[in-house]
Structure 1
């Protein structure tokens, strides 16, 4: 199987859902599709399209830059924190390698985090609790008060 979905988080958890994806190109549209399917019942007040775009960027980066000598996966989790939505993408890469770039106009890559920086209310990168790297974004006021 190329992915697993956790659609029934415990009721005492802030986590609304999670998915584990293999580091292959097909995982990017799969992440968007499954996120939309499982976040829909929560009636977001923010732009679902923006969230899907940011997830696409982070999953793409995780696939491109995640590194491990062993078989590895990309993990996506989404949480409700009061009225905010936080999405985390975990991979086995190195946290020090996550940075905003200022690519030249002719460069084909390097704009993903700039995009996230412009859409999300905030974003963060650092060591993942699963080992490797986590990059997350926060959308404030994702739900009405």
Structure 2
């Protein structure tokens, strides 16, 4: 499967870019690299590293928990709304299966949404307009306000 990227879909859209990734482990580092590369021209004021960490966690969850009888992909889209950055990760899993866990110290897994909850200003999980699930997060003040 080919990886695809869509940047600047149209001048009137708040969407800054999108990635379509196969549901494999190699998609996680690729999503980090591509996001870092394609968000750079937008001169974010907020930490790109924080965004990259959260994308990594959500793409990992999408790859691990996405389920379909048909071939499927993980979609990542990012949007600018005023000074806020919103990132969405879509997969064919069930929205009801997305839950914030409080793992024990010796648990090896289960901290992805806890990190999202701790770092992002807000996050949401629900039905995706592509079918399946979308998990999104927002980073307020990602850009300075206009002068």
TM-score higher than 0.5: yes
Residue of structure 2 equivalent to 1:12: 12
Residue of structure 1 equivalent to 2:120: 120
Query: Given the two structures, how large is their TM-score scaled by the length of structure 1?
Result: 0.98
Give 5+ residue unaligned stretches, structure 1. none
Secondary structure (helix, strand or coil) at the match of 2:90 reads strand
1:90 equivalenced with 2:90 (yes/no)? yes
1:26 equivalenced with 2:26 (yes/no)? yes
Give CA deviations for 1:26-65 in whole Å, capped at 9, x if unaligned: 1000001000111100000000000000000000000000
Secondary structure (helix, strand or coil) at the match of 1:131 reads coil
Residue of structure 1 equivalent to 2:100: 100
Distance 2:39 2:102 in 1: 32
- Give, in angstroms, the shift of residue 2 of structure 1: 3.3
Q: How does 1:2-81 map to 2 (within 5 A)?
A: 2-81=2-81
- Give, in angstroms, the shift of residue 7 of structure 1: 1.6
Distance 1:57 1:3 in 2: 19
Distance 2:62 2:55 in 1: 10
**Structure 1 segments of 4+ aligned residues over 2 angstroms from their partners:** none
Secondary structure (helix, strand or coil) at the match of 1:116 reads helix
Q: Please give the root-mean-square deviation of Cα atoms over the aligned residues, in Å.
A: 0.7
Distance 2:8 2:104 in 1: 44
Give 5+ residue unaligned stretches, structure 2. none
Secondary structure (helix, strand or coil) at the match of 1:6 reads strand
